[in-house]
Each structure stands twice: as C-alpha cells, then as structure tokens.
Structure 1
Amino acid sequence: MSQTVTQTEVKVDPPATLVLKSPVQASEDEYRYSHLLPVFSQAHYPPLTPFTHSDPGLRALEHPNPRAFLQNATSVVEITPRLGTEVRGVNLAELDSNGRDQLALEVARRGLVVFRDQHDFIDRGPDFYKAWGSHFGRLHIHPTSGHPEGYPEVHLVYRDANSTFNFEISDSITSTVWHTDVSYELQPPGLTTFFLLSQPETGGDTLFTSQVSTLQKLSPPFVAFLRTLTAVHSGVEQANFSRSGKRGGIVRREPVEHIHPVVRKHPVTGEEALYVNRQFTRRIVGLKREESDNILRFLYDHIDKSGDNQARLKWQPGTVAVWDNRVTAHSAIVDYADSKERRHGARITPQAERPIPALDGLKLE
C-alpha cells in the first residue's frame, strides 16, 4: 500500500458510558485494579482505514546482536521445541527501542515469549500500555469489548462470580475455541501483549499452538493445494453476539468481512503458517459449501488435536505474554467458573500488515 493513513476514532454519538463493575467484592474501591475494570462506552467509530505497517522485527535483523535484550536474563527456557520461550530477569518496562525491536523478532521466531515477574510493567498503567503497544503497530480498538474508562485501545477480558464479558458460547461442550485475534480485519494483529490483573488460584490457563508447525505436519501436495486458497474471515457473528445483549451489548464499529490467504507468509522470518481459525473463518472462496466445510473441518480438527504443536501457559501473578498472531492461534480455558473467582486480563493489540500469501500472485479479492 502506498499511502499511510492514521486511524481516526471519531465519536459520532454522545459519549454515554455503561459502567459494568464487578459486584464480587464488598467494595470495588478496595480492588487494586478497579480503575481498569471494564466499561462499555456507547461511542461509535468509523471503519478502519488501510495503513502502511513497518515491522520492528525487520529493524532487529540489522542489529549486531538481535537477542541482546536477553543478555541479562537469569533464565531463558524453551517451553516446547516448536513453540514458546519463558524468560526471567528481564524488565520489559525498561526495554529501549532497540530492545523492543529485538523482542518483536524473537516473538516472530518463537511464536510466544512469556515473561515472569513483570509487576513493574503491569503497574505502569494504561498510558504506558498504549505507548508500549504503539511501538509495534497501530493500536486496534475492539468493536465490542470492554475497556478501562478513557482507554478504548486496551481490550479487557473479564469474568467473576456474577458476570462475564467474554465471547463465550454457553451451548458448547467446551470453552476451547482456537482463534487468532480479530482475524476479520483487513490488517489483523501482529505482536500482541496480554497479562492478568487478577486470576483464580488455579485454572484459567491459555493454550497456544504453532500455526507454522500445524502446516508443516501436512503432506506437501496438500500444502501446495492450500496455498492456492483464500478464505473469508468475518466479524458479523461476534457483533451479533453483542447486539443480542450479551458481552456488553454494544457494537462500536460495524462488522466487516475480509478475504485472507489460507497459508500466509511472515514478513520478517519468511515462515509459512496456516491462517484459518474456528472462531472467525467462515468459508473458502470459490469452493462449493460441502467442499469448503470439509476442508475447514479437517483443518480445525488438526489444530484442536495437535498437542505436539501446542503450549499451555499457566499464569502466575506478574506474568506478561507476548505472541505473534500471524503464526500462532490460542484459546482461553474457562475451567474456573465454579470457584467464582475473578479473572481480569488486559490486551494491547497492534495491527500489522495485510496477510501476505505464501503463493506469489494469489489474488485476495
């Protein structure tokens, strides 16, 4: 794309705000992060406009030591061979611009990097979160989720004994729904940062899977066929879920559908990754319904069942997870509902480039 356009969030409606605070505590004023509880503003935003994304990982390739930000770490452990690294002894909040570039490259290569003991990062608050995320791309404002008052760029997930504002389907036998965040956007997220402000004593883990590895498990002739395909990703169902009165009952931006390659190429590493997900992918373009349904069902089952491509993150206080939505998928695990404990998380979601097809010349229209 030749033109850089800055996202402008123009509020059309009066700024009325529905404040939904948790009644689980006798007084939410006693909750350390009460200022970050979800509100659901009635503001409406125009459609997102295309922009030129400059990936910080590309800059890191030019650094003399692209992993220099880890040189003072006390522990760097691979969670699994194919996906995920856990780091201790690095204060994310103190990384300079070069360190953040290097982080982006490391996350692109490993898919997921988990940092422990990041209380400094978490306690710096939403202005810091915005500045942090803006280094990695244009910040996405979610069309239906709750956010801290005055900070729509900070997406919140929240559940306690009395309420849930997550996108959950109550008539399913499982809470596991593999997805890449808001993949229906023209330019979906790249590097994403997430942490919990409050968590249950046990449960509430997050599953991740490598979409590079899931693709590599398939036979070369089948992968060659998948490279020729595109698929529709849709935000309509998520918007309708909110419009039905659930989550927060609001839709701040009209839902969109976009066509993305079934196999995409990472702009920094060049790795190819499967790019479909059960939550937002609706159909494969150009195939008959039964053909599309059967291929997608096979791919979803493959993602679901490939435990050898997956990593499970057990949250601890002070944990910050950074992942690359272009080469991973993830799912929350809602197994703590009976405990009636609070799980309160914040996500900073910079957008990246429009997905690059693995097959040169593949049309996305």
Structure 2
Amino acid sequence: MATTTETITQALPTLSLRGAPSGQEQPRPESSYRYARLLPHFSPTTYPPLTPFEHDEPGLRALEHERPRAFLDGATSVVELTPRLGTEVHGVNLAQLDAIGRDELALEVARRGLVVFRGQQEFIDRGPDFYLEWGRYFGRLHIHPTSGHPEGYPELHLVYKDANATFNFERDESTTTTLWHSDVSYELQPPGLTTFFLLSQPETGGDTLFTSQVSCLKKLSPQFVAFLRTLKAVHSGVEQANFSRAGKRGGVVRREPVENIHPVVRRHPVTGEEALYVNRQFTRRIVGLKKEESETILGFLYDHIDKSGDNQARLKWQPYTVAIWDNRTTAHSAIVDYGESKERRHGARITPQAERPIPAFNGLEL
C-alpha cells in the first residue's frame, strides 16, 4: 500500500503566473508529479451558450438485457454502502467494459445512485483522451464555465487544492465546508451519469459525502410531496461566475452564466423514481411564491437534506478509486478538512449532460 500511496500523492507544486490572464494563477508543471499534465489550466477561451440536444440514455437499453447486472460477474466483492445509497465494487475493470457493460453500469448507477469502484489504475492511467471517449458514451460532455481543466481538454473539470492555493468554489465565511449540490444544476440539461476520481489525495481527510434525493423525498409526508410536485425553482450559475470574476478560483468565465427553471421534484427517465431537485449551492427561489414563502420552503428542504444522515453515504478515497453517481437523484459535498496538512487534493470529473429534468407532476409547465 505504501508504494501505491506514494505514486498517487506527490510533492506539492509551486504556483506561477506564467503568462496567465490577469488575476489568474496556474500550477507549474512538475517533472516529478505523475499527473502533471492534468494540472489545472485556465484558458481564456470563451464559448457560446449551450444549445439543447437529444439525450440518448444508455440505462434504458440495459432494461432490455436478460441479465442487466452481468457486468458485475467478475467482481470479487459487491457491498452496499448503505441500504438506500451506494455500492462498492472490487474486481471489475472499468477500462475494459464494452458497450453492453457500460449500458448495464448506467442502469446500476441509476438504481443505486452511487457506485464506487476500487483498484482502477488502468482507467485513471489511460489519460485524458480515454476520459473523453468514456464520457461521451453517456452523453454530451459539459465544459465548465469557470473551473480549471487540463491544457487542451476543456471538457475535463478539475478540483484542486494544495498548500499554496485552491481552485475550488469555496465559501471562506461559512462555519462548515459542507455545501450540498448537484453539479451545474443551473444548466438547461444538467448532468446524468457522472464520473470522478482523485489523482492525488491527502493521507487522511478530503472525503466526499453523498445523499439520496430519492430517499430525502420519501421521508416527507404524502401531502407535502404532492404540493412540492406542483412547484418549480430557479437554478442559477451567476454566483459561481461572479466568484471567478472576482479573481478567485482561476479568474475566468468561459461562458456567460445562465439561470434555468427546473421542477422541485423530478422523475428519473430509467427507474421512474421521484427525487427532490433543489440544492443549497445553485437553487435560488421557487417560481410563483412570495419571497418569504420560497425561503421558508427551500430552507426547510435544505435543512432536511443537511441533517438526514440516514439518507447519506460517506466515501473515503483510496488510491485508484473511481466514483460514478447519478447527478439527477443524488447530491454531494466535498469535505475540506485537510488544509492544515498542506497536502494536495487533485481530482478530475467527467460530466456528460442528460435530459432536461422531467417533472414528477405531468401537468407542470416549465
């Protein structure tokens, strides 16, 4: 294990402007760091607004398979992390999955919300071209408007923090680093099956929390759920963009921020399950309600999500771990508890977009 940890966790980088746009730092590549080519780069390239597209959901195809969990046949261990959320798998090589296996994976993730695969060195070491091929199988790849990416690969979203700098969207004035969110929920077609892994990690800390928005909804009374189904809410990327415009994170905004309206309760296109679709980071207000009404309902839902430990799972990262979750039915939060150690946490996210959220209430007009 010591050798593996040393491979993943390397010496900390120094930072340099190196010709970057004003207010923007970029990590200097290190010859000793195995994943130096995947360090954050903040290109000033800008992109036009995203346009709608027809999403082809791979999990639907797996519903027709005689054995839709056959991709797990070679697993040495399949363990449920909690009854309601999360499965941990050993012995399955994601890099070797064919199209049938990928479809079955999508279905399994839809059903369990989160599936964690250990021992995925081949997947991680195949590099960015493979990451793009992998992600495109599950949907149109999202280019994040403000985050760092490996140079030449804007479709790969990076999280990064070390002893000298952070390129994450963090709120220093908060008493906690816990900030539940569904990735870029402000997009018209937010992500579906999402893949994330760490290239470098602290010895301890830096875990990720997940919660099932399906289970959170089921905890509420039927009368209240019936009311929530009739509601829609605004999700906004403005605050995230302004955070970068202020010179933080990397100081770039590649695409002008958008706001979109989504149902407060959405229906999964594969499982048919209903899930809450609000999050503290990006949801701003409920359409049609007065300010106090909207804030009261959203505040209750956020508090419910925050406190419902029986709906949550905690992922402790190990070298060569790949986590895949369904962004439609889960929310998550990084735990930034490792700052005093001065260690690096460097992660990559592959983010295919999916369908526009489907309202649980058929009569809801968006």
The TM-score by the shorter chain falls in which range? over 0.9
Give the Cα–Cα distance (whole angstroms) in 2 for the partners of residues 184 and 269 of structure 1.
23
Residue number among 155, 158, 167 corresponding to 1:156 in the alignment: 158
Residue number among 185, 188, 200 corresponding to 2:187 in the alignment: 185
Deviation at 1:80, TM superposition (A): 0.1
Q: Name 1:10's counterpart in structure 2.
A: none
Give the Cα–Cα distance (whole angstroms) in 2 for the partners of residues 29 and 84 of structure 1.
37
Q: Name 2:7's counterpart in structure 1.
A: none
Secondary structure at the counterpart of residue 237 of structure 1: helix
Q: Name 1:173's counterpart in structure 2.
A: 175
Q: What do the CA deviations read for 1:103-124 (whole angstroms, capped 9, x no partner)?
A: 0000000000000000000000
8 Å Cα contact 1:184/1:256 also seen in 2 = yes
Secondary structure at the counterpart of residue 40 of structure 1: coil
Give the Cα–Cα distance (whole angstroms) in 2 for the partners of residues 21 and 280 of structure 1.
26
- Could you say what the CA RMSD is over the residues aligned between the two structures, in angstroms? 1.0
Secondary structure at the counterpart of residue 296 of structure 2: helix
Give the Cα–Cα distance (whole angstroms) in 2 for the partners of residues 180 and 150 of structure 1.
26
Secondary structure at the counterpart of residue 28 of structure 1: coil
Give the Cα–Cα distance (whole angstroms) in 2 for the partners of residues 195 and 343 of structure 1.
11
8 Å Cα contact 1:130/1:153 also seen in 2 = yes
Deviation at 1:28, TM superposition (A): 1.4
User: What pairs with 1:66-145 in structure 2 (closer than 5 Å)?
Assistant: 66-145=68-147
Deviation at 1:21, TM superposition (A): 4.4
Give the Cα–Cα distance (whole angstroms) in 1 for the partners of residues 198 and 98 of structure 2.
23
Say which is worse superposed, 27-36 or 286-295, in terms of deviation. Answer: 27-36
Q: Name 2:356's counterpart in structure 1.
A: 354
8 Å Cα contact 1:22/1:160 also seen in 2 = no
Q: Name 1:33's counterpart in structure 2.
A: 35
8 Å Cα contact 1:283/1:292 also seen in 2 = yes
2:346 pairs with 1:344: yes
Secondary structure at the counterpart of residue 29 of structure 1: coil
Deviation at 1:20, TM superposition (A): 4.3
Q: What do the CA deviations read for 1:141-184 (whole angstroms, capped 9, x no partner)?
A: 00000000000000000000000000001000000000000000
Deviation at 1:17, TM superposition (A): 5.5
Q: Name 1:238's counterpart in structure 2.
A: 240
Q: Name 2:321's counterpart in structure 1.
A: 319
8 Å Cα contact 1:86/1:113 also seen in 2 = yes
Give the Cα–Cα distance (whole angstroms) in 2 for the partners of residues 149 and 62 of structure 1.
40
Q: Name 2:4's counterpart in structure 1.
A: none
2:326 pairs with 1:292: no
8 Å Cα contact 2:26/2:42 also seen in 1 = no
Give the Cα–Cα distance (whole angstroms) in 2 for the partners of residues 254 and 282 of structure 1.
18
Q: Name 2:277's counterpart in structure 1.
A: 275
Q: Name 1:58's counterpart in structure 2.
A: 60
Q: What do the CA deviations read for 1:11-68 (whole angstroms, capped 9, x no partner)?
A: xxxxx86584446xxx711100000000000000000000000100000111111000
8 Å Cα contact 2:149/2:155 also seen in 1 = yes
8 Å Cα contact 1:156/1:346 also seen in 2 = yes
For 1:350, give the aligned amino acid: P
Q: Normalising to structure 1: TM-score of the pair? A: 0.94
Q: Name 2:15's counterpart in structure 1.
A: none
Q: How many residues align?
A: 346
Q: Normalising to structure 2: TM-score of the pair? A: 0.93
Q: What do the CA deviations read for 1:198-257 (whole angstroms, capped 9, x no partner)?
A: 000000000000000000000000000000000000000000000000000000000000
Give the Cα–Cα distance (whole angstroms) in 1 for the partners of residues 146 and 78 of structure 2.
37
Q: Which runs of 5+ in 1 are unaligned?
A: 1-15
Shift >4 Å, 4+ stretches: 16-21
Deviation at 1:361, TM superposition (A): 2.0
Q: Which runs of 5+ in 2 are unaligned?
A: 1-18
8 Å Cα contact 1:22/1:162 also seen in 2 = no
